Amino acid sequence: MASKSIDNAFTATDILGGASDPTYAGIASFMRRKLSKTPAGADVTVWGIPFDASVSNRPGARFGPAALRRASQIFDNDPQYPFHRDLFEAMSVVDYGDCLIDYRTPETAHALIRAEAQAILDQTGFLLTLGGDHSITFPLLQAHADRHGVMSLVHFDAHQDTWPLAQSAAGERVDHGSFLTAAVKHGLVDPATSIQIGIRTHAPETLGLEIIHGNAVEDLTASEIARRIHERTKGRPVYLSFDIDCLDVAFAPGTGTPVAGGPSSAKMLGVLHRLKDLGIVGADVVEVSPPYDHADMTAIAGATVALYVLGILAERKAG
């Protein structure tokens, strides 16, 4: 036990290197990364946004960041499958903790998210966000567009999220079903180079995005889907947003608006692994709702999606 440690989230002396906490114990941070509110110099910052005030069906995604961190504890210090490497040997990653949102004034949440995301991006190379409902992607796209300009969006979801915008007393109303409408309207993403994967519902507008519907996902291989994504994004900066309800309810029951007939976690992870040459500049995993989960199935799937994003970045850094 002399070489073992515990609570690496705050006992770590460096932001490089793996941890040796028992999988069932220790302070929870994402994959045991050091907790830090000063991410300056980190290659990647992981951040949680516990917000679900814009859902149209079942709430509970405010508990998503905590559940994703807890689920990530089972990823031990061995080389991470399928990347054949310790992701943190050369890539520095910190867990920034969560965004503070006043639950009494949810209409202020998006401005708070955008401002804090911009502050984090000023200090770190890449922001990986744990949600939270899908509306949080809109202020995240605002912050990333300030840094990278207009981006391509790679969007895994059962829903198009292109419903019309409405007005409220606080101004433009953006919820988890209309964040993409707002993103296109404000010129944050280019629909002509953006793509959605796994869609199994209809919305009034496509806004010009390419869609790989759920039934098509079943007919295509992971390699074919990844090739379609590469062809669509045309080498541009990409923001990747993964709504966990992209997966079939058998693999992700713990979400606010589940839709049957979706792909397996294995297939979508296979797609993600083949996106290592994509110019991903930011990413989020959203809509994990632990109150509807069973045996942490959904949280484990979501945490694995986030792990794969880190794996892509680690392979990129390794050349």
The answer on whether 293 is annotated among ligand-binding residues is no
Of the given ranges (100-114, 123-137, 160-174, 175-189), which has the lowest mean pLDDT? 160-174
Q: Number of structural domains, the chain?
A: 1
Which range of residues forms the domain containing residue 248? 8-318
Residue 199 lies in a domain: yes
pLDDT in tens, 286-319: 999 999 999 999 999 999 999 999 999 999 998 8
The reported pLDDT for the residue numbered 137 is 98
The CA distance from 248 to 44, in Å, is 29
The answer on whether 157 is annotated among ligand-binding residues is yes
The answer on whether 52 is annotated among ligand-binding residues is no
Whether residue 197 has pLDDT greater than 50: yes
Residue 150 lies in a domain: yes
The CA distance from 63 to 48, in Å, is 10
Residue 180 lies in a domain: yes
Give percent of the chain with pLDDT exceeding 90. Answer: 81
The CA distance from 125 to 266, in Å, is 28
Residue 221 lies in a domain: yes
Side chain identity, residue 141: L
The answer on whether 245 is annotated among ligand-binding residues is yes
CATH number at residue 52: 3.40.800.10
The reported pLDDT for the residue numbered 18 is 82
Side chain identity, residue 98: D
Residue 1 lies in a domain: no
pLDDT in tens, 115-146: 999 999 999 999 999 999 999 999 999 999 99
The answer on whether 190 is annotated among ligand-binding residues is no
Residue 3 lies in a domain: no
Instruction: Note whether 51 and 111 are within 8 A (CB).
Output: no
Question: pTM of the predicted model, to two decimals?
Answer: 0.94
The answer on whether 243 is annotated among ligand-binding residues is yes
| pLDDT band per the 50, 70, 90 thresholds, residue 3 | low
The reported pLDDT for the residue numbered 1 is 46
Pairing of strands 127-131, 44-49: parallel
